[in-house]
Amino acid sequence: MRNVVGIIINSPNQSNLGELVNHRSIHTVPIGGKYRLIDFALSNMVNSGINNIGVIGSYLYRSLVDHLGSGEEWNLSAKSNDLAILHGGRNVKIGEITRINLQDFIDNEAFFTKINKEVENFVICGCNIIYNFDLTEAMDFHQKKDADITMVFKRDYQGQILNKEVILNTECGMVKEIVYSADKRKTDSNVFVDTLVIRKEILLDILQNVKMTGSIDLIDIIKDNLNALKVAGYYLNGYVKIINSIKSYFDCSMDMLNMEIQKELLHSERKIYTKAKDNHPAKYNLNSEVKNSLVASGTNIKGQVENSIIFREAKIEEGAKVKNCVIMQQCIIGENSMVVNAVLDKYVKIGNNKILVGTVKEPLIIKKNSVI
């Protein structure tokens, strides 16, 4: 789709992800056994025919560069400028959170000045949104409404949105009011899910004005100019989760064990692409027992696993019990140990006869490379 450019932003809502983002970009937080958070936004764009994409990273860019590589897993090519990794993450409002930080756009001005003249719209998505969404539906709605901006929302969103939650009040498909609501969300609120379509000339005009006015959050600018702009609101009908806390990450991981949600996210006609790895199939030993779990390739299961997600090359030893857990790549659970309601980051080693128990509301987090 030559007339659309995709931008995947660096999410500001990550302070509550704790250990999961201390050593990696939020884009590359592992999820679902073999995926990273960014795989969903990036795959949605590619599946919708968007083949010119800029990804705004953070100062922890190494994991992002390593994961995306040349973009070939997403049928993109860095050599032909299909995929550009842009720098970002500058905090320009001390103590405040910007939902869509325009400073990141200004810092990458060269990317925007080289945009093809045929481009009519930008599609902006958060890097930490878990959904399988045909963006052409939102773009068609945007054109039908002859809108300057179309904001995508979810009605009756059940997850957390921390730091400057955005509620859209709509009428006949048009946004009439934008409200920031920290803790008074109604059950039928239209919650903005960090996804929008915006006309190229509108965005470029905003960026020029930002340089003079100092305004930095695109949502603030839209909110303050609703009378001057035609802002539509598109209802997303499907599963969506914004990953901005340990609780939202854990809840989403457990949701993926629901067959209907798993089918929608991971097994629909719109494939979610990720970095390929060549591993042998998972090995289930004679005394192993696995119930309602996602188990990635290269794993070796000798113990019991229930309601859990086991990443590539993890090992669950004889007599070990794992329940309601996320066990990331190359973790080892020792013999006769028990781990319940926990998230183990990469390369964690749990010795023999250990007991680690968290709760559903506050899952236990074990940081990368820990030995217990």
The tens digit of pLDDT for each residue in 284-319 reads 999 999 999 999 999 999 999 999 999 999 999 999
Q: What pLDDT was estimated at residue 96?
A: 58
Residues facing residue 129 across a β-bridge? 242
Residue 90 confidence (pLDDT): 57
DSSP 66: H
Cβ(372)–Cβ(356) below 8 Å:
yes
Structure tokens at 198: 């915006």
For the chain, helix, strand, coil in percent to 5 are 25, 30, 50
Sorted by where each starts, the structural domains of the chain and their CATH numbers stand as 4-266 (3.90.550.10), 283-366 (2.160.10.10)
Q: Which helix (H) or strand (E) holds 193?
A: strand 190-199
When computed from its CA atoms, the radius of gyration of the chain, rounded to whole angstroms, is 21
pTM higher than 0.85 for the full model? yes
Model confidence over 120-144: pLDDT tens digits?
999 999 999 999 999 999 999 999 9
What DSSP state is assigned to residue 245? Answer: B
Alpha-carbon torsion (251, 133, 90, 23), positive or negative: positive
Neighbours of 72 (CB within 10 A): 15
Closest to 320 in 3D by CA, of 355, 293, 347: 355
Can you tell me the distance from the alpha carbon of 175 to that of 231, in angstroms, rounded to the nearest whole number?
A: 6
Contact 333, 316 (CB under 8 A): yes
Helices and strands: H and E segment counts in the chain: 9, 26
Could you count the other beta carbons within 10 Å of the beta carbon of residue 2? 12
Q: Report the SS3 class of residue 127.
A: coil
Report d(CA 60, CA 88) in Å as an integer. 10
In order along the chain (372 residues), what is the average pLDDT of each group of 10 residues? 89 76 92 97 96 89 89 78 80 61 90 89 96 96 97 86 80 94 67 95 93 84 96 96 92 96 95 89 95 96 98 97 98 98 98 97 95 96
